[in-house]
Structures are given as C-alpha cells and as structure tokens.
Homo-oligomer: A and B are copies of this chain.
Amino acid sequence: MSEAFERIPLEKQERIVNTAFVEFCEKGYEQASTNHIAKEAGIGKGTLFYYFNTKQSLFHYLIEKAFTIAQEEYLNKINFETKDFFERIKQTTELKWEVYERYPYALKFLAFAMMHAEETDLSDELSVKRKEAEAKWAGVLTQNIDFSKFREDIPKETAFNLIRWTVEGYRQELEARMKQLQFETMENQDLRPYYEEFYGYLETLKTIYYNE
C-alpha cells in the first residue's frame, strides 16, 4: 500500500476497506474482482491501484486492518472483570454489534483469512500476531469467568459448549432472517427489538444452566 491511501478522508478509506472486506469474504481471494471493488466503492479502477499497487498487497493490507480492528475495537474493550458468564456473553455480543456497525464484514473477513491462513502465506510478523490473537479469542468467554454458578449435574465444559452453540445457532438464524428481509445495510434499522429478544433468551438460558 502506498502512503497516499492514508492521506485521503477517513470516510472514504472505510468505504473502500469495507467494500473490499465484503468482496473477499463472499468470493474468496481468487474470485474477488478488483474491478468490482472499485465500482462498488465508487472510485476508479486506476485509483484503487494507485492506493494499493496489486491485488495481493490490498489483501495483505486488509488482513492487517482486520487484525487492528479486532484488537482495538473488540478485544481491548472487553471487560475481563465481568465474572458472570452470561454478562460476558452479553457484553461481547454488544461489542461485536458495535464493530459491525462501523466495519460490517471485518470480523467475518478476519475469520475467513485465518481459516485460509495456510494458502495465504502470512508474513512472519503476522503469524506471530495470529498466535497471540488466537489465544486471546479463546479466552474471550473463559478468562476470569466464575463457573461455580453453573448447575452441578452437568459437566461445566458441556454446559459451556451447549450455551455457546445455542447463542451461535441463534445468531445464525437471525442473520439468515435479516438477509431474507433484504437488510442490505443495517443503517436506520431499529435493532432494539432484536437486542431485547436476545437478552430474553439469555435470561432463560441463565435459569436453565445456573443453580437455582
């Protein structure tokens, strides 16, 4: 990436980055089209290659960017003093939503890039970052959590997994529902009912998986 890209208005930067995130997520590296990214972001093709010299260097920039976003907008904001499991889930979910509002596909892109990390040869520096991030991600729902509140007739590990899967399954269904409603952007959408619904389910899960 040339330094020119960092000189343009932040809003434009984010528009381009987000467009590129989407394109790479949905099509994969090979099938992703620089033409399409440029058009979708509302800039000329030449401009895109003026900012990033090649498709690959754009991709590498995106990886770094996604890492930074995940780190600064998500991981660093988690309050690890929250010992209650459900409170932690609620909190991390809210953080994810906040990230989503600004960079809708950043976290999905990061997951995608990590999954295909073997094909995409990362720099040594990035490989290190990856290891670090993986460790942190693993701790998001476990570090400093008070598991003693869980009911005792079920292994803590099992309960932990079941809850994770429930939340994830619910999230996926919500995503599908929204796609069907053609929520291309979530802008100006009132999401509060969805939040409320989610919190309701969390409360139910708490009565189920905690000691009474």
Contact = CB atoms under 8 A, between A and B. Distances in A.
Interface of A: 27, 31, 115, 153-154, 158, 161-162, 164-170, 172-173, 180, 201, 204-205, 207-209
A188 to B, nearest CB: 24
- For the residues of A in contact with B, the DSSP-based class is helix
Contact of A166 (B31, B162, B180, B207): B162
A62 B31 CA distance: 24
Contact of A153 (B154, B158, B169, B207): B207
Query: How many copies of the polypeptide does the oligomer hold?
Result: 2
Given A154-B207, A208-B154, A201 B162 contact: yes
Contacts of A168: 165, 169, 172-173
Contact of A165 (B154, B170, B207, B209): B170
Contacts of A169: 164-170, 172
A40 to B, nearest CB: 16
Contacts of A205: 162
Contacts of A162: 166, 201, 204-205, 208
Contacts of A164: 169
A89 to B, nearest CB: 13
Contact of A208 (B27, B31, B208): B208
* Residue among A27, A164, A168 with the highest chain B CB neighbour number at 10 A: A168
